[in-house]
Amino acid sequence: MDITRFRKKLSRYLNGTANETESAVVEAWYKSYEKAEGAEITDKEKAAVKNAIRKKLNNATVIPLRPRRTNLYFRIAASFVLIFGAALFFYFNKKSAVAEIYTTLLTRAGEVKQITLPDSSVMWVNALSRVRIPASFNGSIRNILLDDGEVFLKVKHNDAKPFRISTGALQIQVLGTSFNVNAYTTLKHIKIAVATGKVGISTGGKTLSFLTPGQELVFDNLTKAYHQNNINISESQSWKDGDTYLAQASFDELALVVKNLFALKLTAANKAVSQYQFTLRLQRNRPADDALKVISLIHNTHYRREGNEVVLY
């Protein structure tokens, strides 16, 4: 390509003075980058590229007077900057335009959903959760966003494309495994438990831990402290089948489970009750009053129910 002539054609094209042949040459140059990306160029993107080229062209033509041969070198160098700079601008502009499009999945109280993700991985979503799921996993990482709630995943193995869940301050990344993430925003912590495989957990680019089957990491959202436990993994994921196991759970955790299972708002009548801990099994297919009776027996308390509100005293 004759750089000097092409630069003149490009200048006339941008100024609207190019003839039909010159316009065809420039348009063909545009389309060569369109094909490289495998995507259509919108009018808006064309305008952005033209503006970038015009700016580079204006900058490139302001060259100090020098001896003729040196000036020629500068003009050639400026032309290369113009052409390749514009090409790079277009390349990265197209890259940023091909972004993941997410669909938000919401679940109601008492509702558990099972869905198949674009890569054939399977995800169970607990009640009162909010998850953003891409229409397809086009990027180098299969990414979903857990804004609120709890999920259990069986991830299809793919060495070339890791699977990641982002929730709060944590990023959970795997290649192929099954694990549970409890990240309700009403609680003070996030819990990640591994059923099979290996799970890496990080925050702010710093790796916290790698979990193996039967291990759980508990991350405090306020202090950013964390610790690991050995747990019964079958109990940690049993909520997807209708059973929820609580082990020395706080009143807030109990209240969340009661709301998830029965759509009831459980409150404590006084501070003493709010500091109780609870170990029990709650079943989604049993009447709510049966569950409330079991809860009352644990600390010899009583409950008062008015519509969807329950006070434990």
Q: What is the CATH number of the domain that holds 222?
A: 2.60.120.1440
Please check whether residue 213 is in contact with residue 195, taking contact to mean a CB–CB distance below 8 angstroms. yes
Q: pLDDT tens, 66-78? A: 444 445 544 554 5
Q: pLDDT tens, 289-312? A: 999 999 999 999 999 999 999 999
For residue 274, the tally of other CB atoms under 10 A from its CB is: 14
Average pLDDT across the chain, whole number: 83
DSSP string computed for 272-291: HHHT--EEEEEETTS-HHHH
- Domain identity same for 184 and 71: no
pLDDT(250) > 60: yes
Least reliable range by pLDDT among 7-16, 241-250, 265-274: 7-16
For residue 254, the tally of other CB atoms under 10 A from its CB is: 22
Q: pLDDT tens, 137-149? A: 988 999 999 999 9
pLDDT of 53 reads: 57
- Domain identity same for 109 and 189: yes
Q: How many domains does the chain have?
A: 3
Q: pTM of the prediction?
A: 0.68
Q: Is the model more confident about 93 or about 166? A: 166
- Domain identity same for 121 and 88: no
- C-alpha distance from residue 159 to each of 153, 177, 281 (Å): 17, 12, 38
Average pLDDT over residues 191-220: 96
Q: 128: domain range?
A: 102-236
Q: pLDDT tens, 4-60? A: 676 676 677 666 676 766 666 666 665 555 444 444 455 655 566 566 556 655 554
CATH number, residue 296:
3.55.50.30
- Domain identity same for 115 and 62: no
Q: Is the model more confident about 90 or about 193? A: 193
